[in-house]
Structures are given as C-alpha cells and as structure tokens.
Structure 1
C-alpha cells in the first residue's frame, strides 16, 4: 500500500509539474488600460497628493517604465494600436472618434486629413490571435472604436463584452450608467466597481483555461464623479499635483477597483501564472490634472500628451521593484503579450512594436526610434497638428501649419523648454528625414494647407 501510494504521489507530482509548466507557457493576461491617466497621476510616479496604494504595490512587484508612451495623444488611436499592434498612422485611425467641424478652429491654417474611427475587420486583433490559441477573452470597460455594434469587442475576438461601445466617456459613473453594452444592476453603484465585479466573475468562470482579460476603465475620464468617501480626503488640498478633489477620488477609485481584481488573482491561486500590464491611453487632460514637470497634456505632441504610466508584472520574467528608462510604446505591449502567450505571427504579418522581453534580461531593443502622428485638432482646439519622432535622447516635432520643427534633448530638458532646432541643424534634419520616411512608409494621412 505504501509503495502504491508513493507511486501515485510521484505521478501526481509529475502531472502537477507538467501542468505548472504548461501554465507558464500560456500565462493568463490581465491588461489594464486607464483612460486619460497622466504620467504624474500615481503616487509611485512621484505625486505626493494622490493615493494609489494598490497600483504602487504592483509597481514594487513588477517593473515600472518611466519613458513609456501612448501611441497617440488621444484615446481611440491608442486603443486601436494596442489591440492590433499597428501604429495609428498605418491604421488611419488618428483622431478621437469621428473628426469634424466641432474640432476645427475657424482660423486654422491647415485642414486635417480624413480619418477612420471604426476598427476595420480587415485587421487582426490581439483578442482574435489569443482566442485562436485557446484563450478565453473578456472585455470590460471603454472601447471607443465604432458606434455600430458590428465594430464592438465581441466582433473583434472577445467572448464577452461589458461596457465596450462607441462611447468616449460614460454619461455618468453611477448606475444607471446609460451605457448600451452594460445593463443597469444596482442604482448608485460606481462604474469602476461594477467593471471590477464583471472581470472577477469572468475569471472565476474561466479559471483552468488561459484567460485574456481587458479591463479598460472609463475612469479617470470626464465627467468628474467619484464616491464621496474618496473625494473627501482631497478637499482643500488643491495645488501642485492636484487641481480637482473629485479627480483625486477618481484616481483612488480606479486604484481600489484594480486592487480588487489583483486580489482575485491571488484568491484563485493564479497570480504567479498571470502577466499583468497597467497603462494609460494618453497623457492627462489639463482640465483635470497637473502634468508637471511635463509640458502640456492630452491632445498635444509634447510629453504631457504622450508619456504615460506603465507597470508590468510578469512572474519569473520581470524583476520586482525594477525601474526601466527605455522608451517604449503601446504597440510593444501587443508584441509582449503575444510573445508571452507563445503566439507567432504568419510570415506575411508584422507589428509596429517589439516584445519587451529583452529589456527584462538587460538587453536592448532593435529599433532606433519611436514615431507619433497626430495631424488633427483635439477637442480643446489648443494644439497644433503635427508628427513626432523620439530617437535616443532627442525628440523632434514637425508642425504642419508652418512646416517648422522643434528639437528637444529629453535627458536634459524633460519639460521641453529649450528648442535646439536652430543650434543642432544636422540632428534636426536627420530626424526630420527619418520621420518623413516613416510617414511615407505608413501612408499616413497628412493635413493640407488652406488658401
């Protein structure tokens, strides 16, 4: 009997070890993307006013990137880029929703190009690739890639969609939300808590199979609404780092909801088998937050519009508490997820991002530049249409209204105050040529001069 028991126990251990190995080969993936969260909107990013203990703890467990960029300074292009791995310029989705006269200043010197705002079915999404590889796929939150239901998440590879539609922001954060893809449940319930509940229920239901969970929160986007118990802490603290107490409450509500989902990974015993990525879709809106020391905010090609928080916890791969200064961009997250899941692209397919795995082994990425294209006027009409390139320490912006350029040394001038274009003409010309070449290669839509 003892011998039989030992043989059975040994077999069980081998089976368990094999199962663990298989789980490591196909980790669960939790992709959290917050809406409009600026680079300085977390305590771990250096904001002493805001409380974000759960996300701060995630940063201590994983790797925090200090030079992470959204694919665009507004939401829809970044969302399309992350879910496909392709640059907004290549997708021809470069504006936050349908562009139109409501965004165009009357005295504008250029006319923005036509742009799409619906995610074409000609593209292949991250969810579709993972689903084909055996993943259960769930989407919870903001989509903003098409008003028609035929463009919603379940038509792009997700098994479940709760919250995803054409809305760029919620009519309200309190139930009834009036979001067509999220039925009312409990009057007064806060939206971030509801989305966390739905993500948790999905994970409980699908545990045992590899899962891809997108928690793309509507927070911290306008309107300014937060639970009263969280807002109260920030009242009277307005100043550097906080311009609106309610916004502080929204940040903390987001932190609390994300923390609940992370706790569920622990309760299910799958935290060590789950790749967690936390980021934002663009820089902070200046009507809501303080992006300093970065210049400007959402809708601008300056750092305040593009640079975002990024935290990656990949058990067995990332180093706890590490801080990485390498410039990375949204499409890199797509490539990293596919790498983690062991999904290989067809030979005739490619992405505009690179897997970040080499960085976790103290190696370097292959590319030499990041590119950004925003040829539109944002909703606030306070920006200039342009394109940008970041190569090493230098960043060049090309403006379409007068064909001028600005050049900044981000290592010495993070706030982009000293334009070096005139003093470093060779660097400016080299980067401009490289940027124009990329725009041609992607067939990017360009503004036209108005007569």
Structure 2
C-alpha cells in the first residue's frame, strides 16, 4: 500500500521508547468473536483459560477496553488503519442492507469491502522501523496482507471464517496452508507457524499479528474437550461445550506461544497484547451483565477483554479501568517505535502513560454504524428490537455516560454505565441536559470526520409487515 512519498515522510522522533535497544518485539493476539467474559480472569467459571489467566497476572488488565466496531471487518480495519469507520468506510461485512427489506425504514450507507491502497497500515509502520512482520490467521480487510506491509502471511485473505468444516485440514484453500495432514486443527497449525516465525526472527525485531479464526463460527471443537465441557454443565449463562472447547484450545495454544518465548529468552523483550475483535455472540455465550452481543452497539457487542504484558515496563498484576479502544494501539506502537507519520490521521490515543501507571485525559469514544445487521437469534440477541442486532446510528461513550442515536426514528438512549452496565434504564428523557451534552459532542465529531448519516426513506418498507 505504502508509496515512496509516504516512506520519505516517515520521521524518527525522540521519545521514551525511541532507543532502538528498547524497541520490543510485539505480538498482537486477536481472538475472533471472544466475549468480554469468555475467559477465567474476567470472572467466567465455565471456560478454563489457565494460560490467558497467567498472562493477566503478568501484565495489565483493561476492564473497560473496546473494539472500534461490533463485528469483524470494521474492527480489524480500524485496528490496522488507526482510523474510525467513517474515514475508511468499512462498516460491516458487505452488504449494509441486511435483514428483510420490508423491515428497513431507510436506505443504509453503502459499505466498503476493504482498506484502500493509500491507507498506511500498522504493518507498514513496523516495516518503516525495520521490523520483520508476519500475520497468522484471519486478515479480512484486503485480499492479500503481503501487499499491506506483511512479509509473511499464513492463512489470511479476504474471507471472514474458515468455511464449512474449516477448522480441520484440509482448510478450504486458506493461503499457504495447502500442505496439511488431514484432520489437523487450524488453531494448532497457525500457532505452530507463528512459533516458527519467532524462531526464524529471534535475533531481530518482529511484529507478529496472530488473529486466530477461532472462536468464530462454524463451531468445531476437539472431541475430548467437548466431552469435558458436556460433563461440566452450565455456569453463569455459559453452557456451550463446543464453543468452550474452542476457547480452551485457543488458551492451550497461547500457552505454547508463551512457553516458546521463555525458551528463546524473548519474554522480557516482547510486548504482548491479548484481545478480541468484537463482542461474543449472545446466543452462544452470554456476557451478563453486559447487554446484547456481536453486531450490537450495546456493551456486549463492543466491550472486549484486554491484557497488555511488557516485562519491566508494565507492572505485573495491575488492573486499569480507563476506557481504551483498539485504535489506540497504532499511536501507542508508533510512540514505542519512535516514529512520526506527519500525514497520517489517527483517531486513537497513545496509552503509554497507562502502562506507566499514569493517567490520560478523559476523552469521548465514538462508534458510527450507518448500516443494518439482521438478528442472529430474535429471542436471544437482546437488542433494541428483535429483528436487528444493529439499526443505523451512532454511539458515544464519555466518562461514565453512553448515548445511542438511531437514524430511523431519531431515537436517543442515554445510560449511566456506573449504575447501569446492562444499559436497561434509558435516561434520555429524565436527564435532557446530559443527553444534549453528549449529542452535541457526537454530532460535532460526525461533522469533523464527515460521517455519512443516511436519511432516504426505503420505498420497500412496510410498517405492517411481520416476519
């Protein structure tokens, strides 16, 4: 993607971590569709994740961490670009016209399928700093990550899941996974390839992006793990043994990766981020007290687990309640690398001060989704209405307040997350001052980023239609 002009505009800058000897290897683990409470350290008594739990004790837990979007492609586009959805136009996995047309009141904004060629990616930034780069798993934001700053690509293209029966070999023609023993597990294989990449680059700085396809559907787990969870039984609204088997296998493989870093004496020189690309699917695993799940802009759709470990830089066993978002990692890594991209617009904020136990200024977080996402399960999704996980709108989180604005009916929902984490008590009418305060901030931001707000009425809409 990157042009010679952009390369020449990249500058080094002095800063806390600009010394080459202080630049760590960086591993970003992005589990697909893993819910906020689908790991042990976040309070689940159903899922068994001892390796992830151990990692949480060695680093910093962010309890109010967010994805920049509620489903796969836009969240990953925001991460890799460092920019919010209106700047790149990736709002969903195409098309934006989900659901029955007779139930859609307006014409949604057309969706963009991929990042454009002039978009500087996170991987390209690492290349500027002299890092070797590799991605192992789900890419989903362009056709080929080798054109977007990665030196190595195992398994990544434009698809969003491995396909039918895709978690065991053969892998439905995923790139560079053609040679695989029949029955091999995809999560195991991606981890093996990632470990090989680390071994090959142990003497030079590397950026390893590990976006597992798991735990995205189709749900496929190892038989012995499925049987284990069948015997275990339900706990806290979490009771899917196949999904649990997938979660535990991800944990086992993260343990393999961490063990290899120890063997190679790389643990102290490696920064590790563990997170998910969006909330989990509610009908598969509930995130109580969070409302809804993947595809919704209630907390269950966008709040995700976060751990950051950086030995001797981040105090082990710490917990941070500052709201962060995955777009923050582009400027954070840029600061660590000591780079400056003067022509690059970034919508996140470096969270280096949080790593040091300091604070960052309170700032609003924004989500913009001028699209429709049909329901997964009308009785389980727990959204604004049973037909859609998302109807076109925008959301702002500022301090302890969260405001939803929906375009079809100009509807407003205001929640105090300190007292109502489940977003059940709409205070928009009873607290009009706070509603207007947040609305003005949200509307100003939308104008700044030129966010499209669809308003054209859908001629196919039928208010009397019932599915």
TM-score by length of 2: 0.88
What's the C-alpha RMSD, in Å, of the aligned pairs?
A: 1.7
Match of 1:267 among 252, 263, 269: 263
Superposed CA deviations along residues 137-179 of structure 1, whole A, max 9, x for unmatched, are 0000001113xxxx31100000000111111111110011114
Moved more, 408-417 or 234-243: 234-243
Q: Which has a greater percent of helix? A: 1
CA displacement at 1:343 relative to structure 2: 2.3
Moved more, 231-240 or 211-220: 231-240
CA displacement at 1:41 relative to structure 2: 0.5
Moved more, 371-380 or 295-304: 371-380
CA distance in 2, matches of 1:264, 1:55: 15
CA displacement at 1:111 relative to structure 2: 1.6
CA distance in 2, matches of 1:421, 1:170: 42
Superposed CA deviations along residues 268-294 of structure 1, whole A, max 9, x for unmatched, are 111100000011110011232111110
Match of 1:52 among 36, 49, 53: 49
CA displacement at 1:307 relative to structure 2: 0.2
Superposed CA deviations along residues 76-131 of structure 1, whole A, max 9, x for unmatched, are 11101111111112211111x22154545422112210121111111001110111
CA displacement at 1:331 relative to structure 2: 0.5
CA distance in 1, matches of 2:263, 2:252: 16
- The answer to whether the Cα contact below 8 Å between 2:374 and 2:390 also exists between their aligned partners in 1 is no
CA distance in 1, matches of 2:114, 2:273: 25
CA distance in 2, matches of 1:103, 1:402: 18
Q: Identify if the C-alpha distance between structure 1 residues 440 and 208 changes in structure 2 by more than 3 Å, giving closer, same or farther.
A: same
CA distance in 1, matches of 2:200, 2:29: 19
- The answer to whether the Cα contact below 8 Å between 1:24 and 1:273 also exists between their aligned partners in 2 is no
Matched, 1:406 2:413: yes
Matched, 1:332 2:324: no
- The answer to whether the Cα contact below 8 Å between 2:32 and 2:278 also exists between their aligned partners in 1 is yes
Q: Which residue of 1 aligns with 2:3?
A: none
Q: Which residue of 2 aligns with 1:224?
A: 219
Superposed CA deviations along residues 330-357 of structure 1, whole A, max 9, x for unmatched, are 10122222222222222x3231111111
Q: Which residue of 1 aligns with 2:112?
A: 116
Match of 1:183 among 155, 178, 200: 178
CA distance in 2, matches of 1:282, 1:362: 26
Match of 1:302 among 276, 295, 298: 298
CA distance in 2, matches of 1:103, 1:209: 49
The residue matched to 2:403 in structure 1 has which SS? Answer: strand
Matched, 1:416 2:410: no
Q: Identify if the C-alpha distance between structure 1 residues 356 and 104 changes in structure 2 by more than 3 Å, giving closer, same or farther.
A: farther
Q: Which residue of 2 aligns with 1:431?
A: 438
Structure 2 gap ranges (5+)? 1-17, 376-387, 460-467
